[in-house]
Each structure stands twice: as structure tokens, then as C-alpha cells.
């Protein structure tokens, strides 16, 4: 067989309708164990993979976009590991996009992710305005990480910088240090 394996190819191999294959692939209710086994075997034999664009037409791509403002920031891999670790065992995949440090570049990256019908975006330390972020959140669900401020249009995850500094200073003072400096 040449080219991409289609749902029709799977249906022919399994001896069922394309609707039956679709129900199995979607995990829909009402599929018998026998039907599930036949279709799953045909999928395995043919190496069928659902087409992402077709899934998007049905309203879900099972893809989350993560826009990174700075690919060299040593904190960002921890965030990515947290996201991918949490999504492990689900149908979701993560696509990373370098947004750079300019608002225009970040806007182009988020537009590209929205154009690809991603189910949601995680924007790490974006430099866009609140209005720009709210506009993006109007097109798809958004979580902003590492940026203080926020709006009702999107969720935000930030740390408590004041509490973090207090804990560090208290710890150093507890060790007997009296001359403490913070260099950025």
C-alpha cells in the first residue's frame, strides 16, 4: 500500500464500515469487544494514524502548544517536564514553539499555534500586553506562566517573588550571614 493509510483502508482490512472504525478510534460508546479487536488489529497491521487536520475539523486535535519566550532560560525545561509529565498516559501531545523576546515574534508564534487548531496554549513568560493575551484567550484556552498581572480571560501561574526572597534571606541569616546581596 502506498501513501498514507486511511480510515477506509482500515475498514476494508477489518471488514467493517468506516463509521465503525471511526467509533473505535474515537473510543465512542457502544463498540463491541469483537469490533474493537478487529479494528485494532487492522490498525496495527496497517500502521494507521489518525489525521490531525481531520481531528481538528471535529473540534479537537489533542495538541497543546507551549510558547517559550527564551529557549535558554534554565527554568523553562522544568515547566515543560511538568506539562509533559502531567499529560503522560493521555492522548494529548505537546508542541513547543520558540516565541523569542519580541512581542511581534510571540504574536506570530501564537497565531501559528491557533491556526493549527491546538486545543490550548501555555505561554511561558510572554511579553505581550494584557489586551493581546486576552485576544489570544478569546480564540483558544490560555494559561500564562511566569508573568505577573493577568486578566479574567486567561489563567495565570506565577510564583510569589516576595515570599521566595524572604525565605532565602531568612535561611541565610539563620546560617549566620549578615551581608547578603542579590545580583541579577
pLDDT of residue 4: 80
pLDDT of residue 66: 95
Indicate if 63-161 has the same CATH topology as 7-50: no
Domain definitions of the chain by residue range: 7-50, 63-161
Give the DSSP per-residue string, 129-167. Answer: -HHHHHHHHHHS-EEEES-S---TTSEEE---HHHHHHH
What is the distance, to the nearest Å, from the Cα of residue 76 to the centroid of all Cα atoms in its chain? 14
Q: What is the pLDDT of residues 35-75, one digit of tens each?
A: 888 888 888 888 887 766 555 555 678 889 999 998 888 88
Task: Please tell me the CATH superfamily of domain 63-161, with its number.
Answer: Response regulator (3.40.50.2300)
Which numeric CATH code is attached to 7-50? 1.10.260.40
Q: What is the pLDDT of residues 126-179, one digit of tens each?
A: 998 888 888 888 888 999 888 777 677 787 887 777 888 899 999 999 999 999
Position 97 confidence tier, pLDDT thresholds 50, 70, 90: very high
Rounded to whole angstroms, the Cα distance separating 109 from 112 reads 5
pLDDT of residue 124: 92
Amino acid at each position: 500500500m502506498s501513501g498514507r493509510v486511511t480510515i477506509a483502508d482500515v475498514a476494508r482490512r477489518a471488514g467493517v464500515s468506516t463509521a465503525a472504525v471511526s467509533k473505535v478510534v474515537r473510543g465512542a460508546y457502544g463498540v463491541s469487544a469483537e469490533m474493537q479487536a478487529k479494528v485494532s488489529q487492522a490498525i496495527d497491521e496497517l500502521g494507521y494514524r489518525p489525521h490531525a487536520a481531520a481531528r481538528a475539523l471535529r473540534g479537537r486535535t489533542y495538541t497543546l502548544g507551549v510558547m517559550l519566550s527564551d529557549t535558554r532560560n534554565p527554568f523553562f525545561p522544568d515547566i515543560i517536564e511538568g506539562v509533559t509529565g502531567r499529560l503522560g498516559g493521555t492522548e494529548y501531545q505537546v508542541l513547543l514553539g520558540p516565541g523569542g523576546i519580541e512581542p511581534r515574534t510571540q504574536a506570530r508564534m501564537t497565531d501559528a499555534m491557533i491556526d493549527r487548531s491546538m486545543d490550548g496554549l501555555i505561554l511561558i513568560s510572554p511579553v505581550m500586553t494584557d489586551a493581546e493575551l486576552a485576544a489570544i484567550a478569546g480564540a483558544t484556552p490560555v494559561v500564562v506562566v511566569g508573568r505577573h498581572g493577568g486578566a479574567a480571560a486567561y489563567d495565570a501561574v506565577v510564583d510569589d517573588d516576595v515570599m521566595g526572597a524572604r525565605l532565602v534571606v531568612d535561611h541565610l541569616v539563620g546560617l549566620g550571614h549578615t551581608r547578603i546581596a542579590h545580583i541579577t
